[in-house]
Structure 1
Amino acid sequence: MIGASLAGLLAARALHESFEDVVVLDRDVLPERPEPRRGVPQSGHVHGLLARGRQEMDDLFDGFSTELAALGAPPFDVQEDMRWWLGGRPLAEGPSGMIVLAASRPLIEFVIRRRVQGLPNVVVRPGHAVDDLLYTAEHDQITGVTATVGGERVVFDDVDLVVDASGRGSRSRHLLTALGYPQVEEERIEVPTVYVTRRYRRDPRQLDGRAGASVNAYPGNLHGGFVLAQENDTWIVSISDRFGEAPPTDDEGMLAFAETLDSPDVATVMRSAEPLGAPVKMRYPASTRLRYDRTARFPTGYLVTGDAMCSFNPIYGQGMTVAALEAAILRRLLKEDTDGLADRFFAETAALIDVPWSAVAANDLSLPKAVGDRSMLDRERGAYLTRLRSAATEDPVLATAFLRVTHLMDPPAALFAPEVADRVPA
């Protein structure tokens, strides 16, 4: 396993039931407590574990939600306890029945890493920078990897399966091309975004006791924001800008930026809560998807997962949930048969990724300056969904239906079901 990121750890959990030994290699020195680390540059920013993601992680790790809650992650109803602003208007509030846990990325990763390290046949080895693949003379099978450890080269050979979960910086497609495999097709949605994030001390009475608020960017306002309760009685607050200058990082400038948002919630927290630590900044140029499912040839003994296969704009909070769903697919396929594993895995994960990728495309490509393939957009469906989102500001049933799809609990087709469509104005 290349990478002890969340995707790598979840994949290791899937592998441990089907292989005698699982070794996870990561270049970082892994923290012994929940804290951001160098290899996960986005870990200091807002992360949301969607309702479906929590469900899948509970299936992979018995009692996962209970453990997170015991460590202070506040549970909340995604509709009743959260304000969602879309296109300048808030969704109608009401109970959705979808309960999620507001936990930081470092805490989620820490809990899962500790669970994986407790599996009897899994070893996590930090400080191992994987630098090359091992393969047969015919280049048709990957048989291991080499890694650099303290300046020394270490060989891991006679391996049945190598899984690349090394993130956006994955070198898989380049290494495979060097072995004579075809170029992997890449899809991109370019919406250059800069995030500035800071933590604050949380008073549960703030925001009328709600767990947070999300304010999306749209053609009328390219500024976005997010505030979310976290463990240890904290808020995590993020402001973002599309296509423009980076949001400021000084107190006065951050507050002035937050006041340009359609919702007052982000500015309210900034104005009334005690800052904890300095702001952190991250640039995100584009969502990228590598179409391993469309490659004409692929070696046996090798897979790619997580951000190494598809990296979403983090504002939508899809990455962790998709990684959990990919691990569930891998777990099931390994129990069925290992023959043709890559073809089967990439085909099923492509169908999985289609749903959140289409959601990213529909939102980001609505911005005129965004660069991407707009031919994938269906104007008639898009017009219907625009009407649905508008009606959902007044109709809590439509708001719930929309959030269930957003949280990957229901397929997009659910929004076109008669009981939903009948509530959408023509």
Structure 2
Amino acid sequence: MRIGLLIALAAAAPSVPTSGNAAAGRDWGFEMALLGERAVVLGASMAGMLAARVAAEHYRTVIVVDRDMPPGHPSRRRGVPQASHGHVLQAGGVAVVDELFPGILDEMVAEGTPTWGDGDLSRVILEYGGHRFLPSGHLPNPVTSYMPSRPFLDWHVMKRLSAIPNVTVLGGHDVVDVTSSEDRTRVTGVLVARRDEAAVLGADLVIDASGRGSRAPVFLEDLGYGRPREDELMINLAYTSQWLRIPPGAIRQHMVALFPKPGEATTVALLNHENDTWLMTVGVMAGAEQARDYTDMVAMARRRAPGHILEVLETAEPVGQVAHYRTPSSRWRRYDEMPRRPDGFIAIGDAVCSFNPIYGQGMSVAALEALALQRSLRKGDTDLPQRFSRAAAKVVRVAWRNAVSADLSLPEVAGERTLAMRVNNKFSDMVLTAVETDPVVNSQFFRVIGMLDSPTRLMRPSILARVVRANLLRLQPTPVSEPALAG
């Protein structure tokens, strides 16, 4: 099919009447308040799909341009290479996805997605910074976790997004450039290409969700605005993942996650996904040798995993091919600091900040950024790039500090360790010491890493008292029993 016809079809997507927009939007699950004729989203990443859903509330048509054709079933896409590896949608991201697509969680559960909602700590094995979480008991304030694989989650979100009448997904296309007004104060669309054909999609708003490889800095420089400053921490992370067939009931836990610790900058994760499928991911940092195959993965797990997990891994049946993934650094493009920006163009998700993925923050940050975009659009499109970038930076900043602080707690990772960071890491270590024994601190820590609560919640007097008590008990010498006297 020729690109001209594809674009004509996209332009002819079902339009929203100029009157009764709010009523029409309610039929689709949201209110509408039009800001323009068309929004174009670059990339059908999780960030792109959630941004498109939000943009559908304010633009007559929304077109999502992606290199991959939309899949007809859950599958790994070439444009999302990290989808072959372990992913966790944190509780904060879960809440946003269910708000934007009501009922989607129930759908996924009905189709086999496992959940953890009773707070039973025996069903998870977590080690963070060398501290093993409390292995038994119940969280006093549990939050339901959902465990879909990344392809399964992506497919359900894509299916829901594609069902919105004013949204069209234009697959199989590359974004070549942006177009602008004559005075370059506004981006007016994008140049898209397929094979040897190209055409312009006009837009009132362009949302770049094209991921870490985003060309937005080049586009902005070509328009005369310069590139954003970048914060970067070199981590030299390498992942290896393998799908496994494990007999039902062989493992009680639904998740095993052993994060790096000083002297052992490795990650071992085993995740139970939909319909009793399992995914194992191991990772190394600071340039250590990557696992080449499943044999190497099990060898790495022997250094970290409990015995009963190792017994299962030794006999598990690998399914499909092993997958590899590398990322050199965590990087934050500081669009929020740019003094000048063209109207009609914003970036979101990994196009702004790509974190060390072992901490499972990326999708949830993208979801919270989508909420920030929703709030920004509801205030109109005046000064939108600046307002949204500042709002998104508040979301990113917390996750960035958490990830960078955790990485720099490892002597294997090179980087400046400021006094503030050393103090923060010392406090984090005290909290994690309490997590080993105190269910209340466990519960609050889960809410922080799940991006439901701010890290400052760990500094409340009631939590601080428990943290101090746990650390003081840790310092007390273990009593030594005296030998019995002969009678």
TM-score greater than 0.5 by the shorter chain: yes
- Structure 2 counterpart SS, 1:243: coil
Q: 1:289 to 1:265 in 2, by over 3 A?
A: farther
CA distance in 1, matches of 2:214, 2:312: 37
Shift of residue 152, structure 1, vs aligned partner = 0.1
Q: 1:265 to 1:67 in 2, by over 3 A?
A: farther
- Structure 1 counterpart SS, 2:220: helix
Shift of residue 331, structure 1, vs aligned partner = 1.4
Q: Deviations over 1:81-112 (max 9, x none)?
A: 31111233311142341111111111111000
Q: What's the counterpart of residue 195 of structure 2?
A: 150
Match of 2:133 among 91, 100, 105: 91
Q: 1:243 to 1:378 in 2, by over 3 A?
A: closer
Q: What's the counterpart of residue 149 of structure 2?
A: 104
Structure 2 unaligned runs (5+)?
A: 1-40, 473-487
CA RMSD of aligned residues (A): 1.6
CA distance in 2, matches of 1:136, 1:113: 32
Aligned residue identity for 2:240: V
- Structure 2 counterpart SS, 1:424: helix
Give the conservation status (yes or no) of the 8 Å contact 1:225–1:266: no
CA distance in 1, matches of 2:120, 2:192: 46
Match of 2:204 among 148, 151, 160: 160
Aligned residue identity for 1:84: L
CA distance in 2, matches of 1:252, 1:170: 36
1:6-405 alignment, distance < 5 Å: 6-77=46-117, 80=121, 81-93=123-135, 94-95=138-139, 96-157=141-202, 159-207=203-251, 209-261=252-304, 263-264=306-307, 267-375=310-418, 377-405=420-448
Shift of residue 234, structure 1, vs aligned partner = 1.0
Give the conservation status (yes or no) of the 8 Å contact 1:164–1:170: yes
Instruction: State which structure, 1 or 2, has the greater radius of gyration over its C-alpha atoms.
Output: 2
Q: 1:268 to 1:7 in 2, by over 3 A?
A: farther
Give the conservation status (yes or no) of the 8 Å contact 2:134–2:442: yes
Q: 1:410 to 1:38 in 2, by over 3 A?
A: same
Shift of residue 310, structure 1, vs aligned partner = 0.6
- Structure 1 counterpart SS, 2:151: helix
Shift of residue 175, structure 1, vs aligned partner = 1.2
Shift of residue 201, structure 1, vs aligned partner = 1.5
Shift of residue 380, structure 1, vs aligned partner = 2.6
The number of aligned residues is 424
CA distance in 1, matches of 2:132, 2:68: 41
Shift of residue 290, structure 1, vs aligned partner = 0.4
Aligned residue identity for 1:198: Q
TM-score by length of 1: 0.96
Give the conservation status (yes or no) of the 8 Å contact 1:247–1:257: no
Q: Percent identity among equivalent residues? A: 36
CA distance in 2, matches of 1:262, 1:218: 14
Shift of residue 420, structure 1, vs aligned partner = 0.3
Shift of residue 182, structure 1, vs aligned partner = 2.5
Q: Deviations over 1:310-343 (max 9, x none)?
A: 1111111111111111111111221222111111
Shift of residue 119, structure 1, vs aligned partner = 0.3
CA distance in 1, matches of 2:46, 2:390: 22
Give the conservation status (yes or no) of the 8 Å contact 1:3–1:24: yes
- Structure 1 counterpart SS, 2:458: helix
CA distance in 2, matches of 1:187, 1:268: 43
CA distance in 2, matches of 1:213, 1:10: 28
Q: 1:127 to 1:393 in 2, by over 3 A?
A: same
Shift of residue 206, structure 1, vs aligned partner = 2.5
TM-score by length of 2: 0.84
Give the conservation status (yes or no) of the 8 Å contact 2:262–2:412: no
Aligned residue identity for 1:110: W
CA distance in 2, matches of 1:312, 1:29: 27
Shift of residue 225, structure 1, vs aligned partner = 0.5
Give the conservation status (yes or no) of the 8 Å contact 2:179–2:189: yes
Give the conservation status (yes or no) of the 8 Å contact 1:229–1:235: yes
Tell me which moved more, 333-342 or 131-140: 333-342
Tell me which moved more, 74-83 or 45-54: 74-83
CA distance in 1, matches of 2:310, 2:106: 32
